[in-house]
Amino acid sequence: MLKEISRFRNYGGCANRRCFTDSDMDLYVWFKHQEPARFHLAYNKQGRTHSISWDTDYGFDQQHFDAVEFLAIMLGLPVAPDSVRDISASLLANRFLRDSEKIEPWLADFIYARLLEYPGRTVIHANQGTALGSF
């Protein structure tokens, strides 16, 4: 069950992002004018961590995914073949919905709806810290 990290450090003292975590997922959400502007969801933390990112300007930014995947390869991090990397958007969305009971319904619904729009290609096996550092 995703729970909010209440003492999550924000840039410049501005409360412009929130973090939710549980044993399987980490969700980072950035806000602009009180509305979600982007999110990064890392999941399968107990196995081989996958992640997905979305923002209002680019949606699921393929160039960003390709850049992070390229960086992972350059750093020698394992990247799975496409057949292993693909995930059903509805499966991921349902996993998120199941674990989002403690997130405000409007925010959980927003993330859920975006996950259902996921084109289903890239799930990155890079270290999530590497992916988050590129934002």
Please say whether the beta carbons of 84 and 25 come within 8 A. no
pTM for the model stands at: 0.69
**Where do the domains of the chain lie?**
3-133
Give 77 or 105, the one with higher predicted confidence.
Answer: 105
Identify the CA nearest to 17 among candidates 28, 6, 3, 4. Answer: 28
Cβ atoms within 10 Å of 102's Cβ, excluding its own = 12
**Beta strands, E only, 2-134:** 3-4, 17-21, 25-32, 35-43, 50-55
The residue type of 70 is F
Residue 101: is its pLDDT beyond 90?
A: yes
Residue 9: is its pLDDT beyond 60?
A: yes
For 59-75, the pLDDT digits (tens) are 885 545 555 566 666 77
